[in-house]
Structure 1
Amino acid sequence: MGQPFDPPSGSDGIESVELKSALEERYLAYALSTIMNRALPDARDGLKPVHRRILYGMRLLRLDPNTAFKKCAKIVGDVMGDFHPHGDQAIYDALVRLSQDFAQRYPLVDGQGNFGNIDGDGPAAYRYTEARLTEVARLLLDGIDEDTVDFRPSYNGEKDEPIVLPAAFPNLLANGSQGIAVGMATSIPPHNAAELCDAALYLIGHRDATSAQLLTFVKGPDFPTGGILIDSAESIAEAYRTGRGGFRVRARWAKEDTGRGTWNIVVTEIPYGIPKARLIEKLAELLQEKKLPLLADVRDESAEDVRVVLEPRSRSVDPVILMESVFRLTELEARIPLNMNVLVGGLVPRVIGLAEALREWLDHRRVVLQRRSRHRLAQIERRLEILGGLLIVYLDLDEVIRIIREEDEPKPSLMKRFELTELQANAILDTRLRSLRKLEEMELKRELDTLTKEKDGLEELLGSEKMQWSDITKQIRAVKKAFGPETKLGARRTTLENPPDTAGIDFTSAMVEREPITVIVSAKGWIRALKGHVADLSGVAFKGDDALNISFLSETTAKILVLASNGKVFTLEAAKLPGGRGFGDPIRLMVDFDDGAEIVAALPYQPGGKLLIAGSDGRGFLAPADALVANTRKGKGIMGLDEPAQAMLLVPAGGGDHVAVCSADRLLLVFPLSEMPELSRGKGVRLQRCRQSTLTDAHVFTLAEGLPWRDSAGQERLANAALLEKWMGHRAEAGTLMTRSFPKFERFGK
């Protein structure tokens, strides 16, 4: 970036600035504005500026919980004109969200009219809807007129707005918050207010309590839409300790019998923040694409409550497996993030844990109590001063009346005659004649005694930290009683449960419709799956000079094991293979092949089976098929090889008792399968001694049934035990040359 140039002469008012510094300065200002005044909530009242302004604006309109509703257009107009100079739609959207009982655990606005629904439909225009504050909002605003919080001028300087609300309710955690700022975001799920009150009460008595200790009271998030939390206690504790993490929430469902052995699944609660219409749409889409073979139909029978009906394909379907397959593919199981990034003290954005979040709220409540007490003390002292003057006057009423009647300036005369302050003199002059009776004097003395006692109590409260926390404890207990577990609003909706044990369930078959396929692998490593079991592959076309290499019959629910020449085994899902209309896709795009590696074998995976794996140098071993399955694109390194040997064979080894191996120079060896070791990985042992040649084929078979093989014309042949006598031997021998007993031998197997 070059140096700023001097402005040309005669260009008055034009200033040259360096672009880099100008961009940095302006973007920093924008970022700070977004963080401080838009996206992040204050740790003390849990509100963003727009929500705080809406609540305060509604307070000024006297929209208390027991008053009549007013049009939202009036509320939005007043808030925009006095406090929030942004779009009316942005203000109305925030107002609507504060009223939605499926978005807010404890709604702050009581709405009348169409305020949207859980399906994701929008609200009516603000000229049609009406609103007022709820009891929770009243608690947040309680004491705002008693100098409990600081105010600042609004954007045009005409009015004052609160910097933070008094917040007699733990709103930050109870209602949660979401927001995206510049370079940071916040995501706080809602919690149960009664549990938060219990944790706060414990924190008052144990100032240094940790988040882990507070989890005795706070079980986890409590979403307005209910659901089931399935995270482990350890992960929940870690999330609350650090302020970062996430929660897995599942829909609540039950099996409903429909008679004659038939049944349906009924979903009554869905994860927080997921529009129901989008859920139904996704389920219908998966049904159409045949990705949920256990599910026959889905219906939305919801009225005011959620009721989504899932109809199984047949009565023999296991409901747990059905639901687990649905959870894996849809938002009926969702992850709710936790990122407690808040403005600590209203100034510093920081990620805090559960204990610190509650501590911030409690410290704020103590400040509010102190300021409220001082405000009340000032009022009492002012009133006591006035009462002192009035009681002096009652001692000589005739003289007071004379001064007022005869003096041109009665106030200075009264102040001089009775040694009054200006405040006392003004109060005397403002007193009505009807108040000068004897009964009024007794009332004044009673009021003086009452206020004096209250003043002493407030002074004692302000001087004692213990008494302050005792007072706050009473306030929190009152909140807990109002929103306790026995109340409709306060009862916990989200339950904590362990998910069912699904370790032994094959979900691939549950989520894919079982259909027969024929898998084809070309010489250049392209793979595809033809529908059905195709015996004649002569009509299958290949790209350019490519040709058929491997083909076998399988099913869409199967896994395919692919052996590479470097000894690695890769796993492909048959359901994800490209169809047979085109030429397929290169296997290299599906897995991470090493440079120079080639595909040498492929076959369907049989759970619990055994496979014979061998290299060109004649070494090999038996391997459990389960040990070869890889869950990642990188595959599994199964066979160790010495240069220049390459992996050559991967053949089934289940049910046989002998092994036939053949080298490139047509030497055949048959030996008992029991002579081979079983390994999960390694170099293996020598199967056949290949001095100047390489191993080309191997087959595991039952000697009594004979050795199947094919000639170059594709004819199936069988070598019985008597014929094979000549080639019988032991592992690691060189074998015997194939004579006329194996004319035009091509390969083993049918």
Structure 2
Amino acid sequence: MGQSILPPDGGDDKIQPVDLKAALEERYLAYALSTIMHRALPDVRDGLKPVHRRIVHAMRVLRLDPGQGYKKCARIVGDVMGKFHPHGDASIYDALVRLSQDFAIRYPLVDGQGNFGNIDGDSPAAMRYTEARMTDVATLLLEGIDQDAVDFRPTYNEEDEEPIVLPGAFPNLLANGSSGIAVGMATSIPPHNAHELCDAALHLIKHPDAPVEKLVEFVIGPDFPTGGIIIDDRATILEAYKTGRGGFRVRAKWEQEDLGRGGYQIVITEIPYLVQKSRLVEKIAELLIARKLPLLEDVRDESAEDIRLVLVPKSRTVDPTILMESLFKLTELESRISLNMNVLSMGKVPRVMALNEVLREWLDHRREVLLRRSRFRLAAIDRRLEILGGYLIAYLNIDEVIRIIREEDEPKQVMMARFSLTDLQAESILNMRLRSLRKLEEFEIKTEYDGLTAEKASIEALLASDEKQWQTVSWEIGEVKKTFAKATEIGRRRTQFAEAPETDDQAIQHAMIEKEPVTVVISEKGWIRALKGHMSDVSGLTFKEGDALKIAFPAQTTDRLLLLTTGGKAYTLGADKLPGGRGHGEPLRIIIDMENDQDVLTAFVHDPSRKLLLSSQAGNGFVIAETELVANTRKGKQIMNVSMPDEAKLVVPVEGDHVAIVGDNRKLLVFPLNQIPEMTRGKGVRLQRYKDGGVSDIRCFALETGLTWDDSAGRNFTRTKEELVEWLGERASAGRPVPRGFPRSGKFSG
């Protein structure tokens, strides 16, 4: 323990104390920037991330043009990894495979031969078995790369060079889309139709200030390689393109196939983008087994090259639209594709861009590429003209040139002095072949010289005129548009647009639940369960010690149940979601957020056509439509405002035109129903006046048919309109003592 933990030389061995927080921040920021810039976000100009750009560049170096033979993917991956991309071979091969999958990418950049995976999510074959070459789209992206169109930078080991960005003659960012997760930011761009993008770009060249509203007339929405139907409205799509953020709801394309005799089956021919077909079929089968799709009998995958999923309905009477709507709600037959146009602007700054900004930067890049290629060509023409000028002088003085070459020790210097030639001209003359001395050559040189001079003039005119530059860019885009026109097989629009059909939510809800009879049982202490079948006798039910039955009523699993508490709150429960009849069920307080000082007042099956009369213990009440009681959250909905010691006491269905109310003081009052207001929430109005005590029972009835009640012995009494005259009064009166024969319990039903 006596040894020092410091280095023997006293600790000044180049060790620097560094603040840990600052060091971590600096390193994490460096990592985040590296991820954003060199891994996850695409460049707005060519729409590629570094790995894809390096794959395409490596294929160019390997001369894998569309017309050439294929090469093993292992060879391509090896070159990419060894020369340009210092990461794992698996990640490079995954990226290469995706670039070739026509169900994952709208305009593939790689033409693959062999097993490159499929829409069922099966893996591709190993890279030693598969072969690849570039497609026409990839050659468009590379067009002009050997003409100084873009800057190059040293590769990771500085042995080679790689392009910072590709010339990008194809609107790749939007046409093929992109997705990636960086640090603190992500990108998600769906694919689009190249024909539409070219139209929008051409419009933007003519009208540089064109708003997104105008461009959306050309780019009407994404165009997924797997087709499908987008069901968003135009306003939502416009908003997404204006802000660069949003999403698109995509549904499978389906049709009804007639089987004769009124029978039918549904055939799905297109599924949403990025959905694995096999997983989708599995999920539908799981829901079938779990009895969540009572309208569906069976699902079959009859796909070959194309997609064909067959859905068999339970019976011919099933409404196909409601069946499909229930499937759209529960499965990936409807999927949301997000839009987050977070890209590297000018290859440096990550930001979310709108549609017009993305197209604008692509056009500016195309113009920059045009200018650079033109300057490169101009330099090449100047060099060639210089050489041709030397050749002409040589032809005019051919004998003298031959003499100098034969007799002089330093022919180059002598020729340069004798004919005022440049170094390049003299070198070119010395390198000429003897066969070039034939008489015809002089004429050919003059023709080439004139042609190049004219080309030089046109390039100089182009470089001097913005208008001519944009005309050339327009022409180039027009050529791309012709290649990928909607009339061609690759260019046709695959994704369609439609409005989602108007359907009854209640019917769809029912379509997702197997309809079965149940008996709902709630105990005094607030335990709930649903027993299978409708029980006529509930006396045999068992409860926990000290607990007993409070309410039991029949329902169907497709019903919604309304539950009211003494605190005046309403809750909604799905009958299919209740715990089963084994044991004692579950406490209601687990299912809904019910205050501890409140109890269940009543529960019943929701009937949207009904109205109810609510009353508190103190005799305040109001009428409410039953639809207003529906609450969509665990927290419920406050309906009746009551404060202790008062609490909600009675819930009575509204019928007829009069109300009979009896208090704890055994006084009865009858008054017109229309004196009670209809409300959606509140304390209500006074129904009957008491000195002490509160309300005992209420009944709504039609005065013409009279008021009925049952006594404890089960006998039925009716008082006619004439017999009730002395109890008729105004709301909030005290009433008169109950008539003879009224039950001792103070309730209308014994």
Aligned to 2:240: 239
Judged with a 3 Å threshold, the aligned counterparts in structure 2 of structure 1 residues 40 and 29 are, in CA distance, closer, same or farther, namely: same
- Rounded Cα–Cα distance in structure 1 between residues aligned with 2:690 and 2:285: 59
Q: 2 CA distance for matches of 1:663 and 1:75?
A: 91
Corresponding residue of 1:454:
455
Aligned match of 2:567? 566
Q: Distance in 2 between matches of 1:545 and 1:406?
A: 129
**Does 2:463 correspond to 1:465?**
no
Report which stretch shifted further, 557-566 or 53-62.
Answer: 557-566
- How far apart are the structure 2 equivalents of 1:353 and 1:709? 73
Structure 2 residue 747 is the aligned partner of structure 1 residue 741? no
How does 1:287-686 map onto structure 2 within 5 Å? 287-503=288-504, 505-594=506-595, 596-641=597-642, 644-654=645-655, 656-671=656-671, 673=673, 675-686=675-686
Structure 1 residue ranges without an equivalent (≥5): none
Which residue of structure 2 lines up, in the alignment, with residue 174 of structure 1?
175
Q: 1:285–1:374: structure 2 CA closer, same or farther, 3 Å change rule? A: same
Compute the displacement of 1:676 (Å). 3.9
Within a 5 Å distance, the mapping from 1:60-79 to structure 2 comes to: 60-79=61-80
Distance apart, 1:233 and its partner CA: 0.8
1:477-508 Cα offsets, whole Å, 9 max, x none, are: 11111111101111111111111112575322
Partners of 2:12 and 2:522 in 1: how far apart? Answer: 75
3-state SS in 1 of match to 2:202: helix
Is 1:99 aligned to 2:100, yes or no? yes
1:605-651 deviation line (CA, Å, top 9, x unaligned): 11211212111111222222122222333433332346542211223
Q: Distance in 2 between matches of 1:163 and 1:709?
A: 91
**Which moved further from structure 2: 170-179 or 272-281?**
272-281
Does the C-alpha gap of structure 1 residues 333 and 446 become closer, same or farther in structure 2, counting only changes over 3 Å? same
Q: What code does the residue aligned with 1:95 have?
A: L
CA distance in 2 between counterparts of 1:249 and 1:73 reads: 36
* Counterparts in 2 of 1:410 and 1:533: CA distance versus 1, 3 Å: same
Counterparts in 2 of 1:266 and 1:746: CA distance versus 1, 3 Å: farther
> How far apart are residue 591 of structure 1 and its match?
3.5
Cα distance in 2 between the residues matched to 1:87 and 1:504: 50
Provide TM-score, normalisation by structure 1.
0.95
Cα 1:690–1:506 change in 2 (3 A) is farther
Q: Is the 8 A contact 2:697 2:746 kept in 1?
A: no
Deviation at 1:741, TM superposition (A): 2.6
**In 2, distance between residues paired with 1:505 and 1:602?**
20
Q: CA deviation at 1:658?
A: 4.7
Q: State the distance in 1 between where 2:709 and 2:529 align.
A: 28
Alpha carbons 1:562, 1:571 under 8 Å: kept: yes
What is the rounded CA distance, in whole Å, between the counterparts of 1:327 and 1:228 in structure 2? 12
- The answer to whether the 8 Å contact 1:6/1:16 transfers is no
SS of 2:350's partner is: strand
Shift of 1:526: 2.7
- Indicate the percent of aligned positions where both proteins have the same amino acid: 62
What is the rounded CA distance, in whole Å, between the counterparts of 2:659 and 2:673 in structure 1? 6
Q: Distance in 1 between matches of 2:536 and 2:6?
A: 84
The residue that corresponds to 1:209 in the other structure is 210
Residue 690 of structure 1 is matched in structure 2 by: 690
Please tell me whether the aligned partners of residues 110 and 131 of structure 1 are also in contact (alpha carbons under 8 angstroms): yes
> Which amino acid in 2 is paired with 1:162?
P
Worse overlay, 117-126 or 662-671: 662-671
Task: Report whether the alignment pairs 1:719 with 2:717.
Answer: yes
The equivalent residue for 2:57 is 56
Q: Quick one: distance in 2 between partners of 1:378 and 1:147?
A: 11
Partner SS, residue 43 of structure 1: coil
Contact residue 51 and residue 85 of structure 2 kept, 8 A:
yes
CA distance in 2, matches of 1:471, 1:663: 93
Distance 1:6 1:462, change over 3 A: farther
Aligned to 1:197: 198
TM-superposed CA distance for 1:213, in Å, is 1.1
Partner of 1:160: 161
Q: Which residue of 1 aligns with 2:43?
A: 42
How many residue pairs get aligned? The number is 742
Q: For residues 457 and 401 of structure 2, what CA distance do their matches in structure 1 show?
A: 32
Does 1:122 find its partner at 2:123? yes
State whether residues 187 and 342 of structure 2, in contact with CA within 8 Å, keep that contact through their aligned partners in structure 1: yes
On the 8 A contact 1:610/1:625 being kept in 2, the answer is: yes
Secondary structure of 1:451 counterpart: helix
Q: Deviations over 1:361-405 (max 9, x none)?
A: 000000000000000000000111111111111111111112211
Stretch deviating more after TM superposition (587-596 or 357-366):
587-596
Contact 1:411 1:426 in 2 (8 A): yes
Q: Deviations over 1:262-289 (max 9, x none)?
A: 0011111111111111111111111111
Name whichever of 700-709 and 12-21 sits farther off. 700-709
Post-superposition shift, 1:212? 1.3
Point out the more displaced range, 715-724 or 370-379. 715-724
1:523 Cα deviation after fit: 2.2
Rounded to whole Å, the distance in 2 between the matches of 1:219 and 1:371 is: 33
SS across alignment from 1:745: coil
Which one is further off, 78-87 or 666-675? 666-675
Query: 1:534 offset after TM fit, Å?
Result: 1.7
C-alpha spacing 1:749/1:114, structure 2 compared with 1 (3 Å): farther
Q: Post-superposition shift, 1:346?
A: 0.1
CA drift at 1:339: 0.3
The CA deviation at 1:596 is 3.7
The CA distance in 1 between the partners of 2:683 and 2:561, in whole Å, is 23
Structure 1 residues 709 and 659, CA gap change in structure 2 (3 angstroms): farther
Q: Residue 698 of structure 2 aligns to which amino acid in structure 1?
A: A
Q: Distance in 1 between matches of 2:247 and 2:118?
A: 25
- Per-residue deviation at 1:464? 0.5
SS at match of 1:387: helix
Q: 8 Å contact 1:527–1:587 — kept in the other structure?
A: yes
**In 2, Cα distance between the equivalents of 1:189 and 1:708?**
69
Structure 2 equivalent of residue 282 of structure 1: 283
- 1:733 deviates by 3.7
Deviations 1:416-452 (A, max 9, x none): 2221111111111110111011111111111111111
For the residue of structure 1 that corresponds to 2:147, the secondary structure is coil
Shift in alpha-carbon separation, 1:199–1:749, aligned structure 2, 3 A: farther
Distance 1:678 1:13 in 2: 84
Quote how far apart the aligned CAs of 1:309 are. 0.9
In 2: Cα distance, 1:545 partner to 1:273 partner: 57
Cα contact 1:699–1:749 (8 A) shared by 2: no
Structure 1 range deviating more: 91-100 or 596-605: 596-605
Structure 2 unaligned segments of length 5 or more: list them. Answer: none
Q: Could you say what secondary structure the match of 2:121 adopts?
A: coil
**2:718 aligned partner, one-letter code:** N
CA contact (8 A) 1:578 1:584 kept: yes
CA contact (8 A) 2:662 2:746 kept: no
